[in-house]
Amino acid sequence: MDESIIKIVNDARWTDGQNVRNRLDDITYNPMRSQEEFVMRLVRENARTDYGRKNGFKNIRNMDDFRQHIPLTTYDDYAEYIERIANGEKNVLTAYLTEHISTINGKRKLPHSRWSMQNNYDYSFSAAFYLAGNHGYLTEGMTLNLVDSSVERLASGTTFANNVLGRLLVKREFDNNQVYAIPVDMPVDNSDTDLHYLQAIYALSHSHLSLAICEHYDNMVEMLRYIEKNWTELAEDIEKGNTLVSPNAHRADEIRQVMEEHHIGTQMVPQLWPALRCIMVYDVDCLGASFELLRTYCGSNVHFIFTGISSAEGTFSTTINLDDPQTVLIPDSVFYEFKPKESRSYNRLLTLDQLETGLRYELVVTTLSGLYRYKTKKTFLVVGRYHDTPTVIIDKG
């Protein structure tokens, strides 16, 4: 581990994060101005796409025009367009370069434009790095990466497939194996070695971890459970070394000392990695009983950053506070419309300035990747305001 390189990377993360937070603070004071600007820029720049020509983008003069003339959509409206994009055709749904294609449940494909990917990185990773740095958690320790970062280059040569978060993680050339405890190119479908073994052996071989990144908090729980059951074998492999890690008898002894005194389901993270103070979690759809187990494993000195609400359709909100699952909508990156949950009709959709705290709404979005007035079927509960922009959590009701 080269602490000087880690410091350089974390300084870059912090600078990026500050810029994103400053932008967020600006746009959340007058969110509807940002919403109007977003829509008008989108229709102007995409007027010559196949979708834009068919739907008269060139005739749209304001946000109300857009809402009146562009139909509500579902995935079936895009299936043929997306297949053309996957085959390398350009200017289909959007004029922006398609950089990534996600696959949902092995069947449905969703494209991600370069502009969308950048905004996803800004409001997922950079915003979270800002919070971590602001609380002193971007230190010289390595980052434990439990995100699936395996990607596949498609025939077009410029488009990638598989996990979009993993693509974001390896997008920056400087932000790679020099700072991550687990190699970013480690295959998650490795048939020769168990994934949990790979994660655990890499994580345990490093004593100085300061930050963890998880796509789902269950990733961390499952790795810790694996360590509880298999620490004897893991310590022996670290002591002797293998094709994955160099021999380290001292670290093996540290692990044995901790685990011999450990009781199943009790605190272990601070004992194994004393400098690990922060875990970034990307999937906050449901914080169940296993999250409480993770809190127990971590103890009171490990904090959580819930990075926002996102899915294959896009990133819809971003983090604002440590240990707080409520996140704020992003007025300059998504155009939002909302159907009150109790309403059966989509005829009278609301904009974000019309939302009321304590009420639930189904989300309809227009994105940077070519989804226009798209019914996400996601339901949010409005819990407050950040400046003049609603803060939300996933509705569990």
DSSP 40-59: HHHHHHTTTSHHHHHTTGGG
Closest CA to 206 of 138, 157, 257, 275: 275
pTM, 2 dp? 0.90
**Is it the case that residue 161 has pLDDT exceeding 60?**
no
Distance of CA 85 to the CA centre of its chain: 23
- Cα–Cα distance between 302 and 271 in angstroms, integer? 12
Q: Return the H-helix or E-strand segment holding 112.
A: strand 108-113
Residue 28: HSE in the Cβ half-sphere, 13 Å Cα cutoff: 22
- The pair of three-digit structure tokens given for residue 6, joined into one six-digit string: 């880690």
- Is the sign of the CA dihedral 211, 215, 217, 221 positive or negative? negative
**Is residue 341 within 8 Å of 395, Cβ to Cβ?**
yes
For the sheet containing 374-386, what is the strand order? 317-318, 327-329, 389-394, 374-386, 360-366, 335-340
Instruction: Work out the average pLDDT over 309-334.
Output: 92
Domain count, the chain: 1
Q: Note the maximum CA span of the chain.
A: 71
pLDDT in tens, 242-259: 999 999 999 999 999 999
* CB neighbourhood size of 386 (10 A): 20
Buried/exposed 187-206: b ≥16 CB within 10 Å, e otherwise: eeeeeeeebbbbbbbbbbbb
Helix (H, G, I), strand (E, B) or coil at 102: strand
Domain that holds residue 331: 3-394
Q: Give the pLDDT of residue 397.
A: 64
pLDDT in tens, 41-90: 999 999 999 999 999 999 999 999 999 999 999 999 999 999 999 888 99
Residue with structure tokens 């189904």? 362
Assign 380 a pLDDT band (cuts: 50, 70, 90).
very high
**Is residue 316 within 8 Å of 297, Cβ to Cβ?**
no
- Cα–Cα distance between 142 and 305 in angstroms, integer? 17
**Is it the case that residue 359 has pLDDT exceeding 90?**
yes
**Is it the case that residue 148 has pLDDT exceeding 80?**
no
pLDDT in tens, 175-225: 566 788 877 666 554 545 688 999 999 999 999 999 999 888 888 999 999
Q: What is the CATH number of the domain that holds 198?
A: 3.40.50.12780
